[in-house]
Structure 1
Amino acid sequence: MARLDVNRSGEMEVFVRVVELGGFSPAARAGRMTPSAVSKLIARLEARLGARLLNRSTRQLQLTPEGCTFYERATRVLADLEDAERAASIGEEAIGRVRINTSASYATHILAPLLPDFLARHPGVTLDIVQTDAVVDLLAERMDVAIRAGPLKSSSLVARKLGETPLLIVAAPSYLERRGEPHSIADLQNHDRLGFGYARAVDGWALCENGKAVVVPATGRVQVSDGEALRQLALSGVGLARLAAFTVRDDIAAGRLVPVLGHLVSGDPEPFHAVYVGQGGPLPSRVRALLDFLARYGRVA
Structure 2
Amino acid sequence: MPRIAMDRSGEMEVFARVVQEGGFSAAARSLDLTPSAVSKLIARLEARLGARLLVRTTRALTLTEEGEAFHHAATRIIQDLNDADQAASGGALRGRLRINASIPFGSMFVAPALRGFLENNPHLTVDLSLTDDIVDLLAQRADVAIRMGTLADSGLIARKLGESPRVICAAPAYLERRGIPQLPEDLAGHDCLTFNFRRGWPTWPFRQDGRNIEQPVRGNLIVNNGETMRQMTLAGVGIARLGSFHVAADISAGRLTPLLEAYNPGDLELISALYVGGGPIPHRVRVFIEYMAKALKQLSLG
Question: Normalization by structure 1: what TM-score?
Answer: 0.65
CA apart distance, 1:143: 1.2
What is the alpha-carbon distance in structure 1 between the residues aligned to residue 216 and residue 227 of structure 2? Answer: 20
Rate the CA distance shift 1:147–1:176 in 2: closer, same or farther, 3 A: same
Match of 1:109 in 2: 108
Q: Does 1:129 align with 2:121?
A: no
CA apart distance, 1:171: 0.9
Q: Which amino acid aligns with 2:156?
A: L
Deviations 1:90-125 (A, max 9, x none): 953112222122111211221122232222222222
Match of 1:276 in 2: 275
Match of 1:296 in 2: 294
Does structure 2 conserve the Cα–Cα contact (< 8 Å) formed by 1:88 and 1:284?
no
What is the alpha-carbon distance in structure 1 between the residues aligned to residue 96 and residue 128 of structure 2? Answer: 10
Moved more, 87-96 or 258-267: 87-96
Runs of 4+ in 1 over 6 A off after TM superposition: 81-84
Match of 2:96 in 1: 97
Rate the CA distance shift 1:84–1:237 in 2: closer, same or farther, 3 A: closer
If you compute each CA radius of gyration, which structure gives the higher value, 1 or 2? 1
What is the alpha-carbon distance in structure 1 between the residues aligned to residue 139 and residue 214 of structure 2? Answer: 33
Q: Which amino acid aligns with 1:295?
A: A
Match of 1:34 in 2: none
What is the alpha-carbon distance in structure 2 between the residues aligned to residue 218 and residue 83 of structure 1? Answer: 50
Rate the CA distance shift 1:231–1:92 in 2: closer, same or farther, 3 A: same
Does structure 1 conserve the Cα–Cα contact (< 8 Å) formed by 2:83 and 2:282?
no
Rate the CA distance shift 1:252–1:83 in 2: closer, same or farther, 3 A: closer
Does structure 2 conserve the Cα–Cα contact (< 8 Å) formed by 1:164 and 1:271?
yes
Rate the CA distance shift 1:90–1:206 in 2: closer, same or farther, 3 A: farther
Match of 1:208 in 2: 207
RMSD: 2.9
Q: What secondary structure is seen at the aligned counterpart in 2 of 1:94? A: coil
Residues 122-161 of structure 1 aligned to structure 2 (within 5 Å): 122-161=121-160
What is the alpha-carbon distance in structure 2 between the residues aligned to residue 90 and residue 101 of structure 1? Answer: 28
Q: Which amino acid aligns with 1:261?
A: L
CA apart distance, 1:154: 5.0
Rate the CA distance shift 1:202–1:193 in 2: closer, same or farther, 3 A: closer
Match of 2:232 in 1: 233
Residues 61-76 of structure 1 aligned to structure 2 (within 5 Å): none
Does structure 2 conserve the Cα–Cα contact (< 8 Å) formed by 1:111 and 1:298?
no
Q: What secondary structure is seen at the aligned counterpart in 1 of 2:112? A: helix
Match of 1:178 in 2: 177
Does structure 2 conserve the Cα–Cα contact (< 8 Å) formed by 1:204 and 1:215?
yes
Rate the CA distance shift 1:222–1:84 in 2: closer, same or farther, 3 A: closer
Match of 2:223 in 1: 224
Rate the CA distance shift 1:92–1:111 in 2: closer, same or farther, 3 A: same
What is the alpha-carbon distance in structure 2 between the residues aligned to residue 272 and residue 89 of structure 1? Answer: 34
Match of 1:29 in 2: none
Structure with higher RCO (Cα < 8 A, 6+ apart): 1
Q: Which amino acid aligns with 1:137?
A: D
CA apart distance, 1:226: 0.7
Question: Normalization by structure 2: what TM-score?
Answer: 0.65
Q: What secondary structure is seen at the aligned counterpart in 2 of 1:207? A: strand
Deviations 1:5-50 (A, max 9, x none): xxxx9xxxxxxxxxxxxxxxxxxxxxxxxxxxxxxxxxxxxxxxxx
Q: Which amino acid aligns with 2:191?
A: D
CA apart distance, 1:193: 0.3
Rate the CA distance shift 1:223–1:247 in 2: closer, same or farther, 3 A: same
Match of 2:247 in 1: 248
What is the alpha-carbon distance in structure 1 between the residues aligned to residue 186 and residue 167 of structure 2? Answer: 17
What is the alpha-carbon distance in structure 2 between the residues aligned to residue 200 and residue 296 of structure 1? Answer: 33
Identity over the aligned pairs, expressed in percent?
Answer: 43
What is the alpha-carbon distance in structure 2 between the residues aligned to residue 105 and residue 117 of structure 1? Answer: 20
What is the alpha-carbon distance in structure 2 between the residues aligned to residue 277 and residue 219 of structure 1? Answer: 35
Rate the CA distance shift 1:200–1:111 in 2: closer, same or farther, 3 A: farther
CA apart distance, 1:82: 8.3
Unmatched 5+ stretches in structure 2: 1-7, 9-79
Does structure 2 conserve the Cα–Cα contact (< 8 Å) formed by 1:90 and 1:284?
no
What is the alpha-carbon distance in structure 2 between the residues aligned to residue 297 and residue 218 of structure 1? Answer: 35
Deviations 1:60-107 (A, max 9, x none): xxxxxxxxxxxxxxxxxxxxx988831477953112222122111211
Rate the CA distance shift 1:179–1:119 in 2: closer, same or farther, 3 A: same
What is the alpha-carbon distance in structure 1 between the residues aligned to residue 190 and residue 89 of structure 2? Answer: 53
Does structure 1 conserve the Cα–Cα contact (< 8 Å) formed by 2:160 and 2:273?
yes
